[in-house]
Amino acid sequence: MSKIDTRVRNVTERGANLFAELSFAPEESRPYQAESQALINETLPRKKPLKGERSPLGSEHQHPMDRASRTDWEWLKKLKDEQIDTSDIPELSDEFFARACILAPQYR
């Protein structure tokens, strides 16, 4: 079995243009850099930190379950069923409920 070469030879500095480092022409590398940075900015806040990992955006960007809810629970409690838009949720048929079963966890 051959070994896989995993040696790091280059590390792009934060904020540097990776595409320029890969020898793209400047006029070509700038739009690629801008597009990739926009994707990073859009995706990074949704990244869930791994256990023990701090948020890459700082403490103000915590995991959603670690923050206080901003949901207006009183308003939500007052909503009537017919006021809730469920158009993106398929109806559950009688057949579904006839075949449904409850699975309770088994404790050891």
CB 48, CB 63: distance < 8 Å: yes
Q: Is residue 38 part of a domain?
A: yes
Number of domains in the chain: 1
Which has more confidence, 39 or 2? 39
Give 62's contacts (C-beta < 8 A, 6+ positions apart).
Answer: 55
Q: With a threshold of 0.85, does the pTM exceed it? A: no
Give me the mean pLDDT over the 59-66 stretch: 57
Task: Give the integer Cα–Cα distance in Å for 44 and 56.
Answer: 8
Q: Is residue 24 part of a domain?
A: yes
Q: Is residue 41 part of a domain?
A: yes
Q: Is residue 87 part of a domain?
A: no
Structure tokens of 89? Answer: 């949720």
**Cβ atoms within 10 Å of 19's Cβ, excluding its own:** 19
Which has more confidence, 50 or 71? 71
- Is the pLDDT at 106 greater than 60? The verdict is yes
Q: Is residue 36 part of a domain?
A: yes
Structural domain containing residue 35 = 11-60
